[in-house]
Structure 1
């Protein structure tokens, strides 16, 4: 969670709820810069990144592209922490769209100095609400970082977006979801097996026991893991997935 707004480390005042501008790339590839109040309805979940994901010898971060089953394409990341969080957004059944580095946010400090910040992710939920996400380890948030995060929180409040400042996610959840993510591609949807798994897990049942009841585990398990990824079936990912893990009917996106 972010700190309370209005007072930054050292006692400096945060920015007001006005004076923000946003720069983004429209579908035609042109960069636009508009007042924040005018862009609340822009589909930033479809926006192209405003910054490049650069790779060079000796860099500390490890950028890459995550193939998102939610977005149906690649979403960039600049570190393993960002990769884990875009994976978790992709796994979240409430999320229907994701983009990385979706816009530049501009504002001025009390001294009149121009400041800019590009949040890491923009996500759209199925209910239409928007989520802006910044990823930063808790031990690497200095005063200048807090100033930008709190300004971003203020901007999001102004237009009714949720803001999340996230650090290292739960290790067990990440391991489980990373395993399921290996089966996120639609090619693992095999209709006869899907039908059998739905019938077998109509009531909670141990994972391997249910899979064996449908057929050869080599053929069945990839489909089962795909259904767990897509939430057609559900299991508790807060504890390690095991052969005895209970699998039950899920909730579709």
Structure 2
């Protein structure tokens, strides 16, 4: 897409407005915001539903941060779930800031859906929109966001509909994302059993009563200390092969 009118490819003139916990609502030039920890700011928009509205906002408790993160649609919720499952993600904020720019005729603004901090310190700004629902004004907002991110040293991603099988599996595992699901004796036994790859249910039974070991097993899969094969190909089941992961998750 072409650079929006009124903007310079080499350095778009953009301000960011956001909610600072100390100073309240602020508006600053992009160059003054590149080191701001946007993963810790409050959302610039509220997440509430009114009768007759077609979108579905809400709050999701993220295991990554131990805090609630807002979403404005089921698709945003699904993408948030997958970000929470990603072990490289250490910080997530929804609606982190408004981008303000001038298109040559009037001021425009756009609020990206998420700001992500990764374990290596890098940042990713995320917009979520299904491919078939991108209108021209949306495309322009995404392009401005991409240019802004390139100037700030951040990565930009526009995410659409995720893989259905992977999402279903992660959604199941997310039920066990809370730390209360991890019990040390059962976890140690499961790690020992799945040092050698084997079927999910057989391993749970070998570790003890499945009613107590399965939640722990699913918690270890959520943490990605254990890995299930083909999570993008088939749903988790009794015969799914599980084995130790090469690295330890959160």
Give the TM-score range, shorter chain: over 0.9
Question: Are the equivalent residues in 1 in contact too, given 2:7–2:13 (CA < 8 A)?
Answer: no
1:247 equivalent in structure 2: 242
Question: Are the equivalent residues in 2 in contact too, given 1:6–1:15 (CA < 8 A)?
Answer: no
Change in Cα spacing, 1:178 to 1:15, as seen in structure 2 (3 Å) is farther
Give 1:13 deviation, angstroms.
Answer: 8.1
2:25 equivalent in structure 1: 31
2:197 and 2:22 map into 1 onto residues whose CA distance is: 49
1:95 and 1:203 map into 2 onto residues whose CA distance is: 28
2:174 equivalent in structure 1: 181
TM-score of the aligned structures, taking structure 1 as reference length? 0.93
Q: Which runs of 5+ in 2 are unaligned?
A: none
Question: Are the equivalent residues in 2 in contact too, given 1:14–1:150 (CA < 8 A)?
Answer: no
Give 1:32 deviation, angstroms.
Answer: 1.2
1:141 equivalent in structure 2: 134
Give 1:204 deviation, angstroms.
Answer: 1.7
1:25 alignment partner, SS class: strand
Aligned residue pairs total: 245
1:138 and 1:246 map into 2 onto residues whose CA distance is: 34
2:34 and 2:129 map into 1 onto residues whose CA distance is: 25
1:229 and 1:201 map into 2 onto residues whose CA distance is: 15
1:13 and 1:69 map into 2 onto residues whose CA distance is: 41
Give 1:241 deviation, angstroms.
Answer: 1.2
Give 1:6 deviation, angstroms.
Answer: 3.1
Q: Which runs of 5+ in 1 are unaligned?
A: none
2:16 alignment partner, SS class: strand
1:63 equivalent in structure 2: 57
Q: Does 1:212 align with 2:208?
A: no
Give 1:14 deviation, angstroms.
Answer: 6.1
2:73 equivalent in structure 1: 79
2:153 and 2:197 map into 1 onto residues whose CA distance is: 39
2:41 and 2:81 map into 1 onto residues whose CA distance is: 18
Change in Cα spacing, 1:29 to 1:176, as seen in structure 2 (3 Å) is farther
Change in Cα spacing, 1:56 to 1:15, as seen in structure 2 (3 Å) is farther
